Amino acid sequence: MIAKLTYDRNMYIIAHPDKISEIAFIDWNNIDGSSVDTKQAAIDYCIGYLGMTAERLDALIDIITA
């Protein structure tokens, strides 16, 4: 149960980084992260929110999956 709650919350925030500033006001009882495409959400988060370039992200992925 705890793992599912943590996963859903993390996936929601990664998929909706614009909601980070509202994190204290999110109704977590109505959040379902199961439909989030985790790979695409992580890519979008790193490039769109963190400002990484696609090349740097690819380099990071190469390092952590080597």
- Arithmetic mean of pLDDT over the chain: 88
Q: Can you tell me the distance from the alpha carbon of 15 to that of 11, in angstroms, rounded to the nearest whole number?
A: 6
Q: Can you tell me the distance from the alpha carbon of 15 to that of 49, in angstroms, rounded to the nearest whole number?
A: 10
Torsion angle of the four alpha carbons 9, 15, 21, 26, in this order, in degrees rounded to the nearest 10: -40
In this structure, are residues 61 and 33 in contact, taking their beta carbons and an 8 Å threshold? no
Amino acid identity, position 24: A
For 39-59, what is each residue's pLDDT tens digit?
998 999 999 999 999 999 999
For 4-14, what is each residue's pLDDT tens digit?
678 888 888 88
Q: Residue 23 CB: number of other CB atoms within 10 A?
A: 11
Q: Is the pLDDT of residue 3 over 90?
A: no
The predicted model gives 17-41 an average pLDDT of 87
